[in-house]
């Protein structure tokens, strides 16, 4: 009789071999690795305020000499602070030739942003050759300097682009491991994708830092990726031995019916040991001692021989006996003249 048998078991593949001794389900494995590099880019999702609008005001110039003074557009005036705020005049103007004569000229901050919004009387210096000839102040506050919100790099952007690059690098590493001549992966070996891990980051260069104004963020990385190579033939041997343990005395697994299937990865521990599922199936058939069968059947009438076969053997189908010549009433007396055929050798 043919009895299908199946088994599902977990196999532990151990690169260091510490779990192999005394275990019937542990097999050796090896660590393999490649160096890969790559990049990716994402749109930024953060925001930051940047100076955008320049403050404006009016500067009052005072003549310090008895001659006319021409004040051209673009003349620079500033505060006297350690980090001075500078403005430029916006039009050409002539200061009358009298000491203490004054004239008002519109001015604009050189740099945009809030720093150009000054209280009155903060501007007090003229830059350039006109400095000894005229004085300056701002009788009214300057106003209008402002900022604008623009796209910027966020921490989430750095995390996203890093995850994307690492995913791409692991996929590339997995492909290279299949053909790398130094790894020399055997046809019977496989590398669980879950066993891949970045073990060394050699370079990690972002195009921008958190808070920096940018529409996009890119990242270049070079890393070393390792995986665990497992020989499936060894795993199949474990499954076969467990199948054989299920078979009772007097029975055997037909090797031509064996089927193996590798299942999912269950766990990868901190020692890089991989636990995965393996399944096996095969047909169990009785072990027929042909010499003993011949001895039992010799000299019997065919109907008694059929009954004997039914009684002593676990048959999947009724036996058949053919004699030659067909009219001969007995099985041969010489055992060697009895030919036995089973379902596995027909």
Residues 253, 282: contact at Cβ < 8 Å?
yes
Q: How far is CA 249 from CA 24, 227, 238, 285, 287, in A?
A: 21, 42, 20, 11, 9
Q: Return the pLDDT at 205.
A: 98
pTM of the model: 0.69
pLDDT tens, position by position, for the chain (346 residues)? Answer: 557 889 999 999 999 887 666 667 899 999 999 999 999 999 999 999 999 999 999 999 999 999 999 999 999 999 999 999 999 999 999 999 999 999 999 999 999 999 999 999 999 999 999 999 999 999 999 999 999 999 999 999 999 999 999 999 999 999 999 999 999 999 999 999 999 999 999 999 999 999 999 999 999 999 999 999 999 999 999 999 999 888 877 778 888 899 999 999 999 999 999 999 999 999 888 777 788 888 888 889 989 888 988 887 766 678 888 888 888 899 888 888 888 887 655 4
For domain 49-149, which architecture applies?
Beta Barrel (2.40)
> Alpha carbon 60 to chain centroid distance?
65
Query: Which phi and psi angles does 55 have, rounded to 5°?
Result: -70, 150
Whats the size of the chain, residue-wise?
346
DSSP conformation class of 248: P
Give the Cα separation of 158 and 153 in Å (integer).
Answer: 8
User: For residue 256, how many other CB atoms are within 10 A of its CB?
Assistant: 8
Helix (H) / strand (E) element for 241: namely helix 232-246
Evaluate the CA torsion angle 92, 96, 98, 104 in order and state its sign.
Answer: negative
What are the extents of the domains in the chain? 3-44+154-282, 49-149, 290-337
**What are the start-end ranges of the H helices in the chain?**
155-179, 232-246, 290-297, 302-312
User: For residue 193, how many other CB atoms are within 10 A of its CB?
Assistant: 11
Evaluate the CA torsion angle 160, 163, 164, 165 in order and state its sign.
Answer: positive
> Alpha carbon 222 to chain centroid distance?
14
DSSP conformation class of 128: S
Residues 246, 207: contact at Cβ < 8 Å?
no
Q: Return the pLDDT at 22.
A: 63
Q: What one-character-per-residue DSSP string does 6-59 give? A: EEEEEEEEESS-TTTTT-SSEEEEEEEEEEEEEEEEEE--EEEEEEEE--EEEE
Largest Cα separation within the chain, whole Å, is 154
Q: Which residues pair with 228 in a beta bridge?
A: 31
Tokens of 4: 């299908």
Residues 132, 33: contact at Cβ < 8 Å?
no
């Amino acid at each position: 009789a043919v009895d299908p048998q199946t088994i599902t078991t977990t196999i532990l593949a151990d690169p260091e071999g510490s779990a192999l001794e005394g275990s019937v389900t542990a097999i050796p494995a090896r660590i393999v690795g490649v160096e890969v590099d790559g990049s990716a880019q994402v749109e930024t999702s953060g925001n930051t305020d940047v100076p955008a609008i320049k403050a404006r005001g009016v500067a009052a110039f005072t003549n310090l000499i008895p001659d006319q003074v021409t004040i051209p557009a673009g003349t620079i005036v500033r505060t006297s602070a350690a980090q001075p705020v500078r403005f430029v005049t916006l039009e050409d103007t002539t200061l009358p030739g009298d000491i203490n004569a004054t004239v008002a000229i519109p001015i604009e901050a050189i740099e945009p942003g809030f720093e150009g919004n000054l209280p009155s009387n903060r501007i007090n210096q003229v830059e350039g050759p006109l400095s000894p000839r005229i004085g300056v102040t701002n009788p009214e506050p300057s106003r209008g300097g402002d900022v604008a919100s623009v796209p910027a790099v966020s921490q989430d952007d750095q995390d996203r682009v890093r995850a994307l690059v690492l995913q791409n690098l692991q996929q590339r590493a997995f492909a290279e491991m299949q053909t790398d001549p130094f790894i020399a992966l055997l046809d019977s070996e496989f590398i669980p994708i879950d066993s891949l891990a970045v073990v060394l980051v050699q370079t990690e260069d972002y195009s921008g830092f958190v808070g920096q104004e940018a529409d996009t963020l890119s990242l270049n990385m070079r890393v070393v990726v390792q995986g665990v190579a497992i020989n499936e033939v060894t795993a199949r041997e474990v499954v076969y031995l467990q199948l054989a343990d299920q078979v009772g005395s007097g029975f055997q697994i037909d090797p031509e019916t064996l089927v193996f299937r590798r299942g999912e990865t269950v766990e990868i521990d901190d020692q890089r040991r991989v636990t995965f599922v393996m399944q096996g199936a095969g047909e169990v058939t009785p072990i027929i001692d042909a010499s003993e069968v011949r001895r039992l059947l010799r000299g019997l009438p065919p109907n008694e021989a059929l009954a004997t076969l039914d009684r002593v053997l676990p048959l999947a189908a009724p036996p058949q006996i053919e004699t030659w010549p067909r009219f001969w009433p007995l099985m041969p007396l010489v055992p060697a003249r009895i030919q036995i055929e089973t379902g596995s050798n027909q």
